[in-house]
Every structure is written in structure tokens, then in C-alpha cells.
Structure 1
Amino acid sequence: MSGQPTLAFDEFGRPFIIIKDQSTKKRLHGIQAHKSHILAGRTLANILRTSLGPKGMDKMLVGPDGDVTITNDGATILQQMDVEHQIAKLLVELSKSQDDEIGDGTTSVVVLAGALLEQAEQLLDRGIHPIRIADGYEMAAHIALKRLDEISDVFPAGQEDREPLIRTAMTTLGSKIINKCQRKMAEIAVEAVMSVADMERKDVDFELIKVTGKVGGKLEDTMLVKGVIVDKDMSHPQMPKSITDAKIAILTCPFEPPKPKTKYGLHVSSVEDYRKLREYEKEKFTEMIKQVKDAGANLAICQWGFDDEANHLLLSNNLPAVRWVGGPEIELIAIATGGRIVPRFSELSPEKLGTAGVVRELSFGTTKDHMLVIEECKNSRAVTIFIRGGNKMIIEEAKRSLHDALCVIRNLVRDSRIVYGGGAADIACSLAVAAEADKISTLEQYAMRAFADALESIPLALAENSGMNPIETVAKVKSEQARAENPRLGIDCMGKGTNDMREQNVIETLIGKKQQICLATQLVKMILKIDDIRSQGGDDMDY
């Protein structure tokens, strides 16, 4: 009987149970499949909706090992959630795409996509075909993007006046846990990006910005180092803690005697043999140290470790050294100091050495934690943001927040146009799309009006999360925008007494806002065009 287990036996006579449940599975297609997809998208968007804006709630995520993450960064929340529905996974990828390309707006893009899906469900119930809805959304998106170009302001993202950049970074950091140090963090982010920015090519190489952290101290102790910080210390406690005018040998070869390439065995049968072996090792170590010193180096940074005897010889020969420095850090040190990574001692030469004005050891309070700071480098464009915080959770959230701020400033270097936040740009686009929908006689006008309504989901969420009456607040701002033709009016989330986002210094990058609308529209179009899902093996999927 279908659905009942059957007993069978293998070739050894061992019983096993076959469960016939294929008939209990069903495949959704057509309107039912669309409803399933939309439900998954709306559910995920509703989870993130409460995290939007400066008054948005944080989410506590507990990992399988008990690790706790507290954040309101949309991309981080979605990546750490255990999402199973395939359409919900598409929304996770949507947020990741926004994070990778823009850095900010990862929550907004999912909220907008969820609102578009919710509006699409109402249109489907009215009998409008999904393709006509998708076409209407596409037309509305073009109108919204055109409106964003019209209402955008331009300010020069240059080295001289950095205040607009700082204000934009502060808008990004306003909704984060670290907003108590909002101004300082924004200044650090701007300084870091402008240190490595190529203004002629209008590009920023993030490889030159390293963000690291150390538990201890407070967020206000966070600093920007024009150089590299390595989480290591000198290999011997008696080595100097500070070296000026450093000539650095960057080595990926170990401080140890060379070994034969083939398998070998060594038998030490007498004291004399042991002494000879020890002398051989000492001779090789001394030769290696001489090669480093002959090249003119006064500091050796080695990717590998070395034993106590080599360490003692380095100290005896007045050659400070750092061991066990990881590959990425070695590369960053080479870029910053202008040195070459040397794989063999015999290849060392003066022109391959890196140079730095100061190499010093940082120590923290009464603890034994030490870090190495390499400053005043030959290539001063390599910088490190060094974050301090009371615990690991705060430091990790500060890293995520600074990543968003760095990305936003990079986008302003690429395209210096901005729009105003607080839902002002969304309401302006909503009004423009609704006005254009009245001019269209085809069925797509319903989808365009739905798109206009979906754009209001972001200011509605901002008002709701700020404790206001969302519908009343958005309706008031919308009417003021339409009457005064002022696209800068948004939601006064912070209660400053004005809805003009220019006065509140709430700024978003134009490129980021455009990307939000483009990505959300394209994903919803893709979902609307899926009316059937089958597993790769051809079996029906169990919904």
C-alpha cells in the first residue's frame, strides 16, 4: 500500500525497510508555486524589516558552537541564518551581492524585494499574468532610476574638503552599535580610503586597507596607522622594542640547515657525532645571519619559525627578528615597505630590502599582549585600522560597520553624486512612478502603481522602527514632498524637528540607491518567472 513501509532483505539476509512516500509528495506549479515563493520572500523580508534605520533592532544570532553574534547588518544576519527554502536563498544572495558591490543598504534591498513580492501577490490575485507584472516592474524601475538622477546632488570627493565624505560615512554608521563613536569612526574610514585612493583613475584598492582588532581598551582607542600592524612580537624578549630607519629582509625561507630532498636517516652514535652535527647547524645558522646582515638588513621578518639556538644567535649578532608571520601579512608588509619577498638566503640583496621609518612593539596595559607596528613606510598608501573594544563581539561588529563605511566612501570616489536618506529618495521615486503610471493605458500601469507602493515600504519601516505611526507619518511627508516639490523631505527618525534630510546631514550614495532598486527588481522578475520547481533527479519536491 502506498505510503506504508515494506520489509526487504539484502544479499546477507539482513532486513531493511523501504518507505514508499513518493505518492505523498506533490509539486506545486502555476499560481500555487508563485504563492509559495512570495511567502518565503515576504517572511525573510519581515525578519529584516525591524533592523532598518538608526532606531532599528539588532539581531542576536547563536551559532552551532554557541558563538554569539549581535548585529543589524542585513548581509551578516542572512548569511548566518539557516535558510532552507530555495527562493529565500535567492534573497540571501541578493543581500550578499549588495554587500559585495556597494557595502551598504543590505537590509533595504531585501525589504524592498519583499515589498515588491507582496504587491505582486495582490496583482496575481486580480488575475494579472506574472510576465505583465514583471514588465510593469521593469518600466517602473527605469522611471525610478531616472528620477534618482534628477534629484541627485554633486559634491567633489577630493582631498581638500572631506566634511561631506565624513557626513556620508556618519549616515552609514548611524544605525550601527558603534554609533557612540560615530564621528571618530567616520573620520578614520575617510582618512583610510583617501590614503589609498587613486583619484585619477577614481578607484580604491581595498587590498591596501587592513582592518584588525584586539580585545581590550575601549572603542575610542581605535586608531588609524599609516603602515602595517602585525599580531606578533620580537622573537626574543631582549631584542630592541623599537627600530628606527629599518631595513627589512622579508623571508619565506626557514632559519634551519638545508635538508636533502630525498628520504634520509641520521644516526648519532657518539658524543663526537653530536658535536659535529651541532657545529654544522651553528655554522649554517651563522652563515644565514651573515647573509642577511651583509645585505644591509637590521630586521628580519620570517614566514616560518626557528628554534631557540637560531634565536639566540640572532640576538648575539644584533639582528632583531619576527617569526611565524602569515602569508597575507607578509604580502602586505612587502607592499607597504617596497621590499621583495625572498625565498632563499642566497638571493638577498640590498635592493630587495623593505624600508620603514619606525618599527615598534605595542604592549597593552598589564597584559602580555604585544603587536608590531611598521610605520612611515616607503609606500605610505598601505594603512591599517586598529580597533579596540571590550570584547570580541564588539570588535567584530565594529569591523562590519567600518567595512560598510569604507565601501560607501569608495563609491563616492567613483561617483560623487548623492541622494538624501531617511526614505526621501524612495518617496520621490514613488511619486514619480505613480505619476507616470497614470499616463499608461496598458495593463502594466497596475504593476507600476504596485511598484510605487512597494517603494514606500522603506520609509514605512523607518517610521515604524522609530516608534511613529507609520502610515500617518509617511502620508504627511509624501504630501509635503508633492506640494513643495522638495525631494529632500524624509522621515525624522532621530526626532530633530525637521524632515529636511539635507539639514540633518542624512546622505546616501546615488550608486548605492540605484543598485538597490536594480537588484531588487531583477530578483523579483526572476522569481515571478518561476512557476515550477523540480529536483535535479526528476523527483517531485516535498513542499
Structure 2
Amino acid sequence: MECRGESSVSKQDQSSYPETMTANAEAVRKVAEAVQGTLGPKGLDTMLVKDDGGVIVTNDGVTILNRMEIHHPVAQMIVGIANAQQEEVGDGTTTATLLAAALVEEGVKQVNRGVPVAKVIVGIRRGVRFALDKMQNMAQMIRHLNDEWLHRIAYTAGREREDITELVMEAATSIGREKLLERDFRLSDAVMAHPRARGSIFHGLLLSRGRVNMRLSDVKEHVRVAVMAGDLHPELVNEDALATEAGFAKHEELKQTFEQMVRKLIELEVGLVVVEGNVDTDAIDALTDAGILVAENVKRADIDQLADYTGACVLRRAGLKRSLAELEPLIGFCEEVEDDPLLGWLKIKGKKDQSVATIVISATTKEVADEQERIAKDAAAAVQAAVRGGFLPGGGAAELALAREVEKYGNTVQGMESFGVSAVAQALCRPIAQMVANAGFNPLEKVEEVKALQWKRSTYSLGIDCDRGVVCDMVDMGVIDPLPVKYHALQTAGEVSTAILRIHTVVKMRNTEAESLR
């Protein structure tokens, strides 16, 4: 799908605000259409096709939005919602996208009725704030990691894959509640998938090792670890300078200095050197002769994770100029290192008191492995979010109940801002309506049926069983979602939708880079 923006200033200058707003709303709608069919238990997959014929088959909203071709600037703002949702809670990207699209659509309807856009925006903000407060009051907390509700959350987010659910729950239990509550820790980062791996939990760190200088015949125990950013090679002298006697002398001096730096790693009795970039061949030979395992071309994210896990300080080449006494506290430690050449991983076990677990997901092909990894990451993120913030009924039931509350709140709002509040109430009906449609039922009929029963029974947990099309209690069915996922989705959707509605015109900027080259 392709969403294109205006290509000239003059064309936009002729446009009135309503025309610009309608064009923006249409761009948002097209983006939402690309992911809405994936929502819910009956949602289907999307095939993304590359220029070279390669394909990705997925129902992960953020993957679809980041890979699809999008040119319209407002449509790009919707992609930003998905990325923000993914970054914050790791799940709920499709819901956030649909809510934003629905808020824009409902807001445009109110403006077309004659409501001033400023009043609509203020009303949307008030409605969203009210809904967020109500949402927090509705949530039930997770008190312990063996809570059955937590298992159900993993099962739902894991696309009802029991094998993935069990692995995620085992990892969460192994890591512990306190670790899951840490602000900077993300359980989803502990997920790795490989076509030749067996599904399991590895109680340690798996490092995609890049190239290594030698194969370990067995496990290396009690290993001191040096972690290096950048390349590990001598400083270079300009080629022109090498032709001079002074330049050649400088080259030899730098080479000797580098050899001394490498010698320090040996004297520190380091057993593993992990380098972000490339390693000089002479350095590799010297380290290999000393029995030191060298892994080069390792991702920076893995470098940082290894440093944190082993207690090492990330060094740059110049850092090796320090004295041995200064370098000593900067070296990390792990209990074991094992090289797995088949999978291309280094298996690293840290201190026994460290709670770290890696979730290994198996698959048949590289493409399947990528999708399985995305699913497991969603499940892991959902579990961690539920531990942090509790849970709500899933299946769009909670949003529909909130819609009813927001609608009642709108009746108390005086003035034209009430129309903006009404837009929020209508938008909150969108998730359940889309799930029902994806299941093959009439969304208008089913949503009204659920609405009536929720009001009659004074409950917010009723939704639609997407297998049978009947009204059921989502909590009784085990269909629940983490509060942080829903909360952040609505919060972000509210912020971005009002930003879009405020756009008066779209103007293409001149190319200042091209002008500077003239």
C-alpha cells in the first residue's frame, strides 16, 4: 500500500483547512486498514513483499507499519504511534493504531458537522483523560508470578501457542518479580529464535558471537571478560607520511604501543575478549596463542548487555593504555563460556546469584523463526506489563465499557467540547467492532448487543466469543489484557490524533541540502 503526500506548495496553498483535514484523515485510514485485519483471535496475517521478491508473513502491527511503503507525512505520524507503543510496553501496536485512526475519523465527523476544531480537540483530550482514569480504577493487580491470570495473558499475547506460553512463564518465574519491575529491564529482549534451536530456557546470556578466533572443545570455566567497543587494531599513520622516515618511525611506535596494549589483556588473564568491530590479525594471533577466545563483529546492543551481565566496563582501544591496576576493576567475570558453532552463539553463564534467563524459540525456517520470535516477544512484554500494572478484560470489552462511561461523562460537559468527548466514546468502540468483523460477524449488531448487556448487568467484562458469536464474560473465558498496554495505546492515540487534527495545511519544505551544493 502506498500513501502519498502533496508534492508542491502551490497545490496545498489552494486547499482549505477542511480539504487538508479530510486528506489527512484518508491517509490515516489507509494505514489503519493495513493492520486492522490482524486484530483479535481470528485476525489473519499480512504478507509484505520486498523488491527482490522476498516476503515476510506476519500479523505483528509494528512490523507491518515499519516495513510498508508510506510517503504521506501524516501517515508517518501513525507509524510513530506503533513505534512508541512498542518501545514503551512491547505490545498493543495494532490497537493503538486503530484507536488513533478512529479518533481522527470521529473528530473529522464533528468538524464537518460545524463544531470548531479547537473545541473538538479540547473535548478529545478531556474524554481521553477521563477514560484513562476510569481504566486504572477498573484494573485488577497481579500479586504473584504463579497467578493463573498471568498465564492467560501470556497465552493470549502468544497467539494461543502453549509452547511459547510455557517458555515465557518459566523465564519470568526464573527471573523473579523484582527484576520484572525494574524500569530498564525488558523481558522481551531475552527472546531469541533460530531454525536449528530447540525451544528451551537458557539460564544465562546467549550472545550472537559474530566471528571467533578458535573453537572451544569444551566449556571454559571461571572466565575473565574484556568487552570492547569499536575496533581493536593499531592507530594508523597517513599513507603519505609512511613514505617519510619520521612517518615510518611513528608507525612502528604505534604498532609497538598496540602490542603492549594487547599484552595487557594477556597479563590480566582474560579468557574472553568480545569486540564490537574488527580485530587486528596480529592481535588475534597473540590472543589465540594465549588461549583467549576472541569474538568480533558483535552488535553494540549485545556488547552493552554482556557488559552489564558480567560486570565489565565497555572499553575502547585507548582505554587499554591504562595501567594494569587501573584496568583490573574494568574486567568482567562469568562462570562459564561455551561456543555453539551450529547456532552461532556464545553461551555465557554469569554469577550464580544473577537472575538471567534467555528464552530460546525453535522454528523450521528463518522466516518462521522471525515470526515466532515476534510472537514470543509480544507474550514476554505482555507478561511484564501485567506484573507492573495489572490487567483488564480483553477482547475489546473494557474499551466498550469505557465508551459507555465516557458517553455519560460527555452529557455533563457543557458547550461544544462535548462533541469531542463523544468522539472518544465512539472511537473506544472500534477495537471490539474490528475483532467481531474479523471473526465474520456483524459488528454493528454484536456491539450493540454487548453494550445492552453490559449496561443491564452493570459489568465491564462482557464481550463476544469470536468462535460462536455469542456474548460471554471475557474474564471467565480467560481473555484479559495488561493495563499498561491498553493505557498507553489510548494515551498515545489521543496525543497523536489531536496533533493531526490541528494540522491546517501540509507544505513541502525546500531542499536546503541541494541549495547548499549549488
TM-score grouping bracket, smaller chain normalisation: 0.7 to 0.9
> How far apart, in 2, do the equivalents of 1:122 and 1:185 lie?
46
Match of 2:172 in 1: 190
**Matched letter for residue 97 of structure 2:** V
With over 3 angstroms needed to count, the CA separation of the structure-2 counterparts of 1:391 and 1:429, relative to structure 1, is same
With over 3 angstroms needed to count, the CA separation of the structure-2 counterparts of 1:520 and 1:193, relative to structure 1, is farther
Match of 2:201 in 1: 223
Deviates more, 1:185-194 or 1:516-525: 185-194
With over 3 angstroms needed to count, the CA separation of the structure-2 counterparts of 1:28 and 1:265, relative to structure 1, is same
Residue number among 476, 484, 492 corresponding to 1:511 in the alignment? 484
Residues 418-440 of structure 1, C-alpha deviation per residue, up to 9 Å, x if partnerless?
Answer: 21111111111111122233444
> How far apart, in 1, do the equivalents of 2:482 and 2:176 lie?
17
Contact 2:36 2:94 in 1 (8 A): yes
Residue number among 201, 205, 220 corresponding to 1:243 in the alignment? 220
Contact 1:419 1:507 in 2 (8 A): yes
1:49 aligns with 2:36: yes
With over 3 angstroms needed to count, the CA separation of the structure-2 counterparts of 1:248 and 1:29, relative to structure 1, is same
With over 3 angstroms needed to count, the CA separation of the structure-2 counterparts of 1:306 and 1:118, relative to structure 1, is closer
Match of 1:404 in 2: 378
Task: Please list, as runs of the form range in 1=range in 2, the aligned pairs for 1:81-230 lying within 5 A after superposition.
Answer: 81-156=68-143, 158=144, 161=146, 163-174=148-159, 179=161, 181-187=163-169, 190-191=172-173, 194=176, 197=179, 199=181, 202-206=182-186, 209-217=189-197, 221-230=199-208
With over 3 angstroms needed to count, the CA separation of the structure-2 counterparts of 1:103 and 1:494, relative to structure 1, is farther
With over 3 angstroms needed to count, the CA separation of the structure-2 counterparts of 1:205 and 1:341, relative to structure 1, is same
> How far apart, in 2, do the equivalents of 1:525 and 1:169 lie?
33
Task: Please list, as runs of the form range in 1=range in 2, the aligned pairs for 1:105-504 lying within 5 A after superposition.
Answer: 105-156=92-143, 158=144, 161=146, 163-174=148-159, 179=161, 181-187=163-169, 190-191=172-173, 194=176, 197=179, 199=181, 202-206=182-186, 209-217=189-197, 221-232=199-210, 235-237=213-215, 239-250=216-227, 263-264=241-242, 291-301=264-274, 304-307=278-281, 317=290, 319-326=291-298, 328=300, 329-341=302-314, 343-344=319-320, 347-348=323-324, 351-364=329-342, 369-377=343-351, 380-414=354-388, 416-440=389-413, 442-495=415-468, 499-504=472-477
Residue number among 38, 41, 65 corresponding to 1:78 in the alignment? 65
Q: State the SS of the aligned residue for 1:203.
A: coil
**Matched letter for residue 116 of structure 2:** H
Deviates more, 1:287-296 or 1:421-430: 287-296
> How far apart, in 1, do the equivalents of 2:421 and 2:231 lie?
66
Deviates more, 1:506-515 or 1:226-235: 226-235
Q: State the SS of the aligned residue for 2:371.
A: helix
Contact 2:338 2:348 in 1 (8 A): yes
**Matched letter for residue 488 of structure 1:** S
| Cα offset, 1:60, TM superposition | 1.0
Deviates more, 1:437-446 or 1:60-69: 437-446
> How far apart, in 2, do the equivalents of 1:363 and 1:340 lie?
27
Report sequence identity in percent: 23
| Cα offset, 1:444, TM superposition | 3.7
Task: Please list, as runs of the form range in 1=range in 2, the aligned pairs for 1:25-44 lying within 5 A after superposition.
Answer: 27-44=14-31
> How far apart, in 2, do the equivalents of 1:193 and 1:251 lie?
27
Contact 1:300 1:322 in 2 (8 A): yes
> How far apart, in 2, do the equivalents of 1:146 and 1:181 lie?
36
Contact 2:207 2:347 in 1 (8 A): yes
> How far apart, in 2, do the equivalents of 1:404 and 1:510 lie?
15
| Cα offset, 1:484, TM superposition | 0.6
Q: State the SS of the aligned residue for 2:461.
A: coil
Residues 48-82 of structure 1, C-alpha deviation per residue, up to 9 Å, x if partnerless?
Answer: 22111121121111223433222222222112222
Contact 2:195 2:365 in 1 (8 A): yes
| Cα offset, 1:173, TM superposition | 2.0
| Cα offset, 1:164, TM superposition | 3.6
| Cα offset, 1:162, TM superposition | 5.2
> How far apart, in 2, do the equivalents of 1:231 and 1:510 lie?
37
Residues 412-468 of structure 1, C-alpha deviation per residue, up to 9 Å, x if partnerless?
Answer: 444x33211111111111111222334445334444334322211111111111122
Contact 1:253 1:345 in 2 (8 A): no
**Matched letter for residue 335 of structure 1:** D
> How far apart, in 2, do the equivalents of 1:375 and 1:492 lie?
45
In terms of fraction of residues, the more helix-rich structure is 2
| Cα offset, 1:91, TM superposition | 1.5
> How far apart, in 2, do the equivalents of 1:208 and 1:23 lie?
47
Q: State the SS of the aligned residue for 1:530.
A: coil
Q: State the SS of the aligned residue for 2:448.
A: helix
Residues 151-179 of structure 1, C-alpha deviation per residue, up to 9 Å, x if partnerless?
Answer: 221222x5x5354433323222227xxx3
Contact 1:250 1:302 in 2 (8 A): yes
**Matched letter for residue 338 of structure 2:** R
Greater C-alpha Rg = 1
Match of 1:11 in 2: none
| Cα offset, 1:373, TM superposition | 0.9
Residues 507-535 of structure 1, C-alpha deviation per residue, up to 9 Å, x if partnerless?
Answer: 22223222222222232222333333333
Contact 1:151 1:419 in 2 (8 A): yes
Contact 1:203 1:413 in 2 (8 A): no
> How far apart, in 2, do the equivalents of 1:255 and 1:126 lie?
66
Contact 1:173 1:186 in 2 (8 A): no
Q: State the SS of the aligned residue for 2:69.
A: coil
> How far apart, in 2, do the equivalents of 1:243 and 1:150 lie?
52
Q: How many residues align?
A: 486
**Matched letter for residue 371 of structure 1:** W
With over 3 angstroms needed to count, the CA separation of the structure-2 counterparts of 1:31 and 1:260, relative to structure 1, is closer
Match of 2:515 in 1: none
With over 3 angstroms needed to count, the CA separation of the structure-2 counterparts of 1:351 and 1:130, relative to structure 1, is closer
Contact 1:196 1:208 in 2 (8 A): no
> How far apart, in 2, do the equivalents of 1:251 and 1:440 lie?
60
Q: Give the TM-score normalised by structure 2.
A: 0.80
Q: Give the TM-score normalised by structure 1.
A: 0.77
> How far apart, in 1, do the equivalents of 2:177 and 2:122 lie?
45
With over 3 angstroms needed to count, the CA separation of the structure-2 counterparts of 1:145 and 1:321, relative to structure 1, is closer
| Cα offset, 1:33, TM superposition | 2.2
With over 3 angstroms needed to count, the CA separation of the structure-2 counterparts of 1:209 and 1:193, relative to structure 1, is farther
> How far apart, in 1, do the equivalents of 2:238 and 2:188 lie?
37
| Cα offset, 1:482, TM superposition | 0.6
